[in-house]
Structure 1
Amino acid sequence: MATPTVVLLPVWGAGHLMSMLDAGKRLLARSDGALSLTVFVMQAPTEDNRTEVTGHIRREEASGLAIRFHHLPAVESPTDVEGIEEFISRFVQLHADHVKAAISALTCPVAAFVVDLFCTTMLDVSRELAVRSYVYFTAGAATYALFLRLPALHEEVNVEFDEMEGMVDVPGLPPVPPSSLPLPVMDKKNPNYTWFVYHGRRFMDFDGVIINTAAELEDSVLAAIADGRCTRGIPAPTVYPIGPVLSLSPPAEQPHESVRWLDAQPPASVVLLCFGSGGFFTAAQAHEVAHGLERSGHRFLWVLRGPPAAGTRQPSDANLGELLPEGFLERTKEKGLVWPTKAPQKEILAHAAVGGFVTHCGWNSILESLWFGVPMVPWPLYAEQHLNAFTLVAYMGAAVAMKVDRKRNNFVEASELERAVKALMDGDSDDGRKARGTATELKAVCRKAVEKGGSSYSALGRLFEDIRNQAERPNM
């Protein structure tokens, strides 16, 4: 009989696609030949997304692993949308018939169907085909707990969340300020909010949820989910915390220029500022950052991106002459480097010269920073990043808080950035010492979790056994 396959359906964003592929490869390795992987690829809606996805797939195809990529037929993108969460959810939904046909056409047994957190509409396809289905949740357990809690919160809170009195109850977390909720839930009239509630309900109907976290990182949240405290006492699907799922490559033979610059800096002396694949600054905000960094007196490596070019969604390479204050580069050339395009974030965080990280709080970036034991200053920009920032400071304790003005498009004043960088990097700051100590502890936690016998290693084993048992059933 042909080797059973696990079908993956990722969305095209790098933080989603690569994380799911890396999780799939871990499962493949754990199966020791008992499973293969089949990845369904949706044609990304924009040219820059398509180029990025194509590059990732080519690298995976060259790896020689038992991974097949199946490109689904293109669909027309919805145009009457109000935000990215609605767009992704509806765009995915349009692929239902193509996904059903592709699964039906496979010549090997399908042991499981694993979908991205925004692909819950595909649950109907898996039910119709009687295929076991799982969600791969690319954010943390705290965000998953909020998703599960949201349908009930929708009934309990009759006003907008930023108008409610008191805090938001997310079991397993400290009381959450409404200002720390994800951007898509801040307007109940917006379709993005409706889709968040929809996904929260549908997660309950899957056979399991795979989360890119380690049990020790979010233990009380995972306990609350398992106990049904997020879902009014109704048991939630089994959770498999298998993280941190990170793609860690050996150092490049020719180090990146930014890494070579770090080689000349003292240990733990540099603060990295990097804001993910979607983060960029206007000149007004870049000026504030520049003034704050200069006044902090600390060494810095700043990955600065400019606004997207017309017709694209991705940030552009920064025009430093337009974005930075006059004379800034000259005045700081002995202490700082501004890098105007993409940079190898993991290689930079791994470098001994890096002692802190000002981050947009994408979950992958948080896990990378914890993996290398680097404390953080959260500067959330979009999606669930405000909740991640709250979790990082108030729950994990691996960061120094910074005031970010959500009402001004997440604006940060120069004086506030200066204060946060000094607190993070100065040796006499209590907040900085706590964040550095916790980051060091969580580095050990993350690495132990994925080692043989660790919590994430064991969770991956339980997931494999569950999938293998399904694959061995006679009707498969």
Structure 2
Amino acid sequence: MASRPTVVLIPRWGSGHFMSALEAGKKLLATGDGAFSLTVLVMHAPTQEKASEVEGHVRREAASGLDIRFLQLPAVEHPTDCVDQVEFVFRYIQLHAPNVKAAIDGLAPSSRVVAVVVDFFFTALFDVAHELAVPAYVYFTSPAAFLALMLRLPALREDMTGPGFENTERALDVPGLPPVPPSCMPVCLVKSRIQNYDTFEYHGRRFMEARGVIVNTTVELEASVLAAIADGRCVPGRPAPALHAIGPVIWFEPKDGHRHECVRWLDAQPPASVVLLCFGSMGTHDAAQVREIAAGLEQSGHRFLWVLRGPPVAGTRFPSNANLDELLPEGFLEATAGRGLVWPAWAPQSEILSHAAVGGFVTHCGWNSVLESLWFGVPMVPWPLYGEQHLNAFELVAGVGVAVALEMDRKKGFFVQAAELERAVRSLMDGASEEGRKARAKASETSAEFRRAGGEGGSSCAALKRLVVEILDLSDGRK
């Protein structure tokens, strides 16, 4: 009797990567309609905070009744003397390779592995897949624009005069995008050691080995970039990996029946009247920037919900609950009472974005947050902080047109003056602003496109079906 086929998924720890990859795996399962199961190899997260996050996700999903098996990989020693987080992750994954190989080997004979899908930071595990003669796919949690950039890095190196793009004067060519100013390049490539560039270039080169790249985007959202990659314009002279745009893949926090205080406050606000400010799981601002944000919001005259987090907990990169008395200017809460709410802890972002009272979003431009905002048709003011977020912000403004630009001082940690925040919020929220009207209309249009893409006959639904057929054909030796 033939063994039951399974797809092996190897996600990165942390909700932004882990749950996005798992949701993508669940889409594959549903589209496969019982043709295979899903096996998730779980690495020990390198920090206790991330480990607790992952454990909670695994417990919940393991009890869901879906055909998903979770296998915990053995712990490995943490690499030492790493120059930064990028190098740490790279070396940490290399240390996992023997355990990944043993885990996949151990699935036989009860489960026949038909494909391996790895996070885009885990391309070193391609060696394991090649050794086991299993087709390898990349799950790319970021936009196709960043994928195009990573594929393009070997060619762009010729434009560099230093360890990043700091000294590059002319705009950079990322196929499918308008010319990208150096200031809009990802922070991980601009303010970094050359080792960072080397690592991202390494991953970009290895993407070319993949049987395919599964991208969390839609054809409608990033048509020109996806076409540029598929046409070979990012790596001239070499065939591009197959692209599978299956987005938007969005994980929504399960509701517990309790209406969060932020949501209850929104219930009392007029439709599309509130601008949300929220900066992700690692986004914080110092006291001087908090004062500027407060002044900008007060002067704008608009209603707002500001998720304000405190400085990172000692020894971690994650924000603490804010002490509003210490952080906010004296009299600010009294001056904005009735039209503003400052929330000092975690808040249910997707539930807030879905509320009819929310009409705009000042965001750090993490891709999961961007997709949530567009799913609910909420236009944005991008305030990127880290990772690839500056490129995301550029694409949202210059490429897609769903956002109003925000000027910032990059030499001062992306500092934004109160008057500039006031201008951007007014532009986004005032009905008289042409820029805001265009962003609002385009966000609404994109929301409708997202919903069509995932439905029967939609572009993402069709991409999923093609991918499932391909995986099953590969397992039968027909391709």
Residue 320 (structure 1) shift? 1.1
**Contact 2:253–2:348 under 8 Å retained in 1:** no
1:438 aligns with 2:438: no
Residue number in structure 2 paired with 1:192: 196
Paired residues of 2:160 and 2:167 also in contact (CA < 8 A): no
SS in 2 for 1:419: helix
Give distance in 2, aligned partners of 1:58 and 1:332: 42
With over 3 angstroms needed to count, the CA separation of the structure-2 counterparts of 1:454 and 1:382, relative to structure 1, is same
Give the counterpart of 1:209 among 209, 213, 219. 213
Q: 1:127 aligns with which of 126, 130, 135?
A: 130
1:117 matched to 2:120? The reply is yes
Determine the C-alpha separation between the residues in 2 that align with 1:420 and 1:187: 26
- SS of residue matched to 1:79: coil
Find out whether 1:142 has 2:111 as its counterpart: no
The match for 2:271 is 267
SS at match of 2:208: helix
Contact 1:44 1:50 in 2 (8 A): yes
In structure 2, the gaps of 5 or more residues are none
- Contact 2:159/2:168 (CA < 8 Å) preserved in 1? no
Residue type at the aligned position of 1:405: D
Secondary structure of the corresponding residue to residue 221 of structure 1: helix
Q: Which moved more, 1:125-134 or 1:279-288?
A: 279-288
Q: Could you list the per-position Cα deviations for residues 384-412 of structure 1 after superposition, in whole angstroms to 9, with x for gaps in the alignment?
A: 00000000000000000001222111111
Determine the structure 1 residue equivalent to 2:462: 458
Which residue number corresponds to residue 432 of structure 2? 428
Distance 1:344 1:276 in 2: 11
Structure 1 CA distance for aligned equivalents of residues 285 and 192 of structure 2:
28
Superposition deviation, residue 94 in structure 1: 1.1
Partner of 1:36: 37
| Mapped partners of 1:406, 1:82: distance in 2 | 22
**Per-residue deviation at 1:463?**
0.7
Please report how far the alpha carbon of residue 219 of structure 1 lies from its aligned counterpart in structure 2 after TM superposition.
0.4
Q: Per the alignment, in what secondary structure is the counterpart of residue 337 of structure 1?
A: strand
Q: Distance in 1 between matches of 2:418 and 2:80?
A: 38
Q: Which amino acid aligns with 1:419?
A: R
C-alpha separation in 2, matches of 1:466 and 1:117: 20
1:62 is displaced (CA, Å) by 1.2
The CA deviation at 1:134 is 0.2
Q: 1:288-334: CA deviations, max 9, x gaps? A: 11111011110000111112111222111111112111121122121
C-alpha distance 404-416 of structure 1, shift in aligned 2 (>3 A): same
1:431 partner letter: E
Is 1:334 matched with 2:335?
Answer: no
Q: Which residue is equivalent to 1:5?
A: 6
Residue of structure 1 in register with 2:28 after alignment: 27
Give, in angstroms, the shift of residue 188 of structure 1: 6.8
What displacement does 1:165 show?
A: 2.6
Gaps of 5+ in 1: none
Q: Are 1:242 and 2:246 an aligned pair?
A: yes
Question: More displaced, 249-258 or 3-12?
Answer: 249-258
2:174 is the alignment partner of 1:170? yes
**Counterpart of 2:60?**
59
TM-score, normalization: structure 2?
Answer: 0.97
Q: Distance in 2 between matches of 1:465 and 1:95?
A: 30
Give aligned-pair identity as a percent: 63
State how far apart, in whole Å, the 2-side matches of 1:269 and 1:329 are: 19
SS of residue paired to 1:473:
coil
RMSD over aligned CA atoms reads: 1.4
| Alignment map for 1:33-432 (pairs within 5 Å) | 33-107=34-108, 108-159=111-162, 160-186=164-190, 189-248=193-252, 252-432=256-436
Give the Cα separation in 1 of the matches to 2:272 and 2:260.
Answer: 19
Query: Contact conserved, 1:142 with 1:221, CA < 8 A, in 2?
Result: yes
Query: How far is 1:155 from its partner?
Result: 3.2
SS at match of 2:4: coil
Distance 1:11 1:250, change over 3 A: closer
TM-score if structure 1 supplies the norm length? 0.97
Contact kept, 8 Å, 1:111 with 1:131, in 2: the verdict is yes
Deviating 4+ runs (over 6 angstroms): none
Shift of 1:474: 9.2
Contact persistence 2:406–2:421 (CA under 8 A): yes
Tell me the distance in 2 between the aligned counterparts of 1:27 and 1:474: 20
Report the 3-state secondary structure (helix = DSSP H, G, I; strand = E; otherwise coil) of the residue aligned with 1:164: coil
Take 1:248 and 1:46, find their aligned partners in 2: how far apart are those partners?
A: 24
* Cα displacement (A) at 1:239: 0.3
Query: Is 2:10–2:40's contact at 8 Å kept on the other side of the alignment?
Result: yes
1:471: Cα distance to partner?
A: 2.2
Deviation of the 1:12 alpha carbon: 0.6
